[in-house]
Copies of this chain bind each other. A is one copy, B any other.
Amino acid sequence: MARIAGSSGPRTEEAIRRAGLALIATHGYAAMSLRQLAAEVGIQQGSLYNYFRNKQEFLFDLIRGHMLDLHAALDAALLPDGSAEARLTRFTEFHVAYHVERPQEVFICYSELRSLEPDNLAAVVAMRRDYERKLGDILDHGCATGEFGLADTRMATLAILAMLSGICTWYKPEGRLSTTALQEIFTGMVLALARGGEPAAAAVPARRRGALRAGAA
């Protein structure tokens, strides 16, 4: 918000990045004006164009940069082999810690895909697919060895990622639970989910669709 006049370069770039992350995470890309962003950094709106060619490029750089970080960090953290349970545990611990450390970046990577122009979107979606694949491989492996009992590994992949990514929507550093506690709790839930159990079918009388709306069908 404050600024020593006439200054900087890399410092300004980092300040823009941080302010942009916060503004987009809070209000959304479309709702963030460049005047607002510039004011947050402490420069004039036109000066932003020394750091990107247009607003869309700024968003894409943020998202793409974060996806690259995420992939590199995941690859460094994952166990190359071992039991499926051990690999899934490591995946979950990584995911929780990463979401806790960088909730804004993670959130934007989900919520602002809609704001990317087609070419940019395609690039990000491809990276996202790779990421899902890494979890899917662990689940497939566990089902093959009998460690896991999943009815549908693709659905389990999406379910686990949604569950873990949800963290960045409610996590606050000052909250009740430490990162380690969150890792234990979520690892427990993810492993239980993956291990499965007796099929739940017929645990309750079949009534799969009726009474869905209050009044209508």
Contact = CB atoms under 8 A, between A and B. Distances in A.
Contact of A196 (B177, B188, B208): B188
A169 B113 CA distance: 12
Interface core residue of A82, A166, A212 (most chain B CB under 10 Å): A212
A64 B107 CA distance: 24
Contacts of A26: 114
Nearest to A180: B208
Contacts of A115: 28, 31
Count of this chain's copies in the oligomeric assembly: 2
Contact of A30 (B28, B76, B179): B28
Place the interface of chain A in its size category: 35 or more
Contacts of A199: 188
A140 interface: no
Nearest to A90: B204
Interface string A76-119: 11010010011001100110011001000000000100110000
Contact of A197 (B160, B195, B213): B195
Interface string A153-170: 001101111110110011
A159 B189 contact: yes
B31 A211 contact: no
Given A115-B28, A163-B162, A195-B197, A76 B151 contact: no
A39 interface: no
A120 to B, nearest CB: 15
B212 A101 contact: yes
Interface core residue of A69, A115, A188, A209 (most chain B CB under 10 Å): A188
18 contacts: A28-B115, A30-B30, A31-B115, A73-B213, A76-B213, A93-B208, A97-B209, A98-B212, A155-B177, A155-B189, A159-B186, A162-B165, A163-B163, A179-B209, A183-B208, A184-B200, A189-B196, A191-B200
